[in-house]
Structure 1
Amino acid sequence: MLLILVIGTAIAFDFTNGFHDTANAMATSIATGALKPKTAVALSAILNLVGAFLSVEVALTVTNAVVKLQTSSGAPNPELMVNNGHELLMIVFCGLIGGILWNLLTWLLGLPSSSSHALFGGLIGSTAAALGFAGVNWMGDGTKLDGVVGKVILPAFASPAVAALVATIGTWLVYRITAGVAERYAEGGFRWGQIGTASLVSLAHGTNDAQKTMGVITLGLIAYGVQTDTTTVPLWVKVACAVAIAAGTYMGGWRIIRTLGKGLVEISSPQGMAAEASSAAVILTSSHLGFALSTTHVATGSILGTGLGRRGAEVRWGVAGRMALAWLITLPAAGIVGALCFWLGDSIPGYGGPLVVFAILLGLTGWMMAHSRKSAVHAGNVNDEWHSEVKPGASVADTETVSTKA
């Protein structure tokens, strides 16, 4: 039963990852009018589905980089494998709940936070609650930095900076090269370029984010004893995760699309193409190297870079500051939720603990979904004018009220 809960919860996380991160690929294309909102999310969903099958490097990072599956001698960790891996299954289950709840909360607030770091934070918290901080695979074998520090934390700081630098240079070059071209011709050409680069980001997102859930499910299968190979992912796991993230992507995640597309920088088509090309380059490179970075951090860094690279562009640093704060607290916040869920689930004997924790997840999810309807953001209003006085995720009605008062 616990294995079934783990697999179901993992697929649910994958679904939330999809609608939480649609903005990373399509926010700028929607904001500039290069693609209609519903067309954009449909295209992104298809390419996420395809991208999920292109690599397994990130999935293997998730399987091996967070929890110490082996002792220093290379033998299976006996603390994890008791009673068909019950302890490890609980760690994975509670870590997923931490990731899902943080995804839903930041979506409700319209904050482009990292689904990846929410997942890793939840897993780190539940692992620490079960085994102590020594049970977390912080450094790997100490030579390749293939643990949490090398594969998760360092890329978290480096990736947005690299993406911002690449996008800044790219935007400056774009405007320099097209300085003598009539604006109407340049805009039309760059909108077609945006469609191509946004498609590439969607493909890259599938190669990075869909695999994280593949790695989690594989970890659950290892815990139960039906999977022993830590270097492969079963085909049915690939298919399930690819379909789940594609379905979530098609849902849109309009609140976060609005924040990234309209709230951070007033973006034009040349900037949008530069941002998406920069994001795709960084994400695809990291996927090849097995770095489980945040596509949200990369996309946000790229969009900020386009504001810095275009003379006279407006960057809303207040919005950027709220995003940065959310980034900083994602790992510890999701970790606290994961730890609390483990302590609660472990304190109730038998299957009562996991069922109580799952019931809490359903209750909080239902509350946040109901609350979101009070300030709906959808395909019809996602491109309405942004007003800096309005908090992320506010409805169009709220925006009009502020405008009237101003």
Structure 2
Amino acid sequence: MSFTLHLGDCLEVLRTLPDDSIDSVVTDPPYGIRFMGKSWDGADIEQRAAYRAGMPSHAEACGPNGGHRSVAAEAGKYDLTPKGMRAFQAFTLEWASECLRVLKPGGHLLSFAAARTYHHMAVGIEMAGFEIRDQIMWVFGSGFPKSHNLKGDRAGWGTALKPAHEPICMARKPLTGTVADNVQRHGTGAINIDACRVEAVDAERLAKHWDRETTIDMRGGNFVGGRSGGVLQTTEASALGRWPANLVHDGSPEVVAMFPAEAGASAPVKGSEPTANGFSGSVAYSGMMGRVQGAFHGDSGSAARFFYCAKASRKDRNEGLHSGVTPAVATSATMRNIEDADWSARNGNHHPTVKPTDLMAYLCRLVTPAGGLVLDPFTGSGSTGKAAIREGFRFIGCELDPEYLTIARARIEHEVTQQALKNQQPDLFG
């Protein structure tokens, strides 16, 4: 298990990597909204564009047309105007084009985004030459609405919904020949379904994320939630587990309660006479045929049928780092408290957008062949690298901020040590 971390602009670093050398790209790039005023989501992009404008055409940081002030100079600003979004899209096109070059044919790219700017990121990725294959949704219950609430006769009106998901763009570099040919030649082009199947009966595990009022009755294969009133039902599925879906959730009561107890719909499907599999496959709308109870294409069991992963815990964030026991913000902190907190003064991992290792491990496992090489051009505090090492992959990361790179290195090195300890053979002779 090896990893390499590069300090610097990801575009300059990517240009040093050979063509067709990377198996997968799993990344969490800047969202183009100047998140919490962080320079990597705005000012750094502007500085690079200004550098491009003032350099001769032979400079590595310049585009194919020589030194010029790219519209990407405006990317990252909290600006949803057409000009601002064109800038963000151009910024995405730059890094996605380099990712396309270094990926092996059929290699996958998974990239997080913000709900408001996802479409421009996806277009930039597509314009770079990728095929958009899907969109994975990570749904969670712990988001804070950042709304400007009105007063007076407009009390009760605001400007924002509660954030409850982050979209992940799933794209693929064009294949060489058929999928089978491409996988045989390069090891890439397909996704690892069996390695990412969801446990068939995982109610007990899911319940661990619930509050103390949750009561569990495993005798009938069901458990009933506490405060939320949600009901989770599990039934037997394939021995390998349920087919992975393009939805991931955090297991919180808020999210689990949003799912109907039955899979696929909140009301029974209307169809013809049931077969041995419980459903004939035809659907009627006239009301002449009876309802087929439980007929949901062989799937069942509320939110338990999806992979779930809570947001990064304090333990996950700080493994391998020296950290104090006092958090930077209280559990009940508002978005304003979070923005105003002095994160850099706290020991441990103070990166504001840490993704959970379990989620990144799931994503790496989904799109990376055994022993493959994972690239993250926007490494941040190293969650993708930590996850890649945990899954037995090799890793290359790029990070612009020296402080975050130090955190990433410590977290990844800690994971390397942990995996080495797990893999040690016992000394039978003491």
Which of the pair is proportionally richer in helix?
1
Rg larger for: 2
Q: Compute the TM-score of the two structures, normalised by the length of structure 1.
A: 0.22
The structure whose RCO (Cα within 8 Å, separation 6+) is larger is 1
Which of the pair is proportionally richer in strand?
2
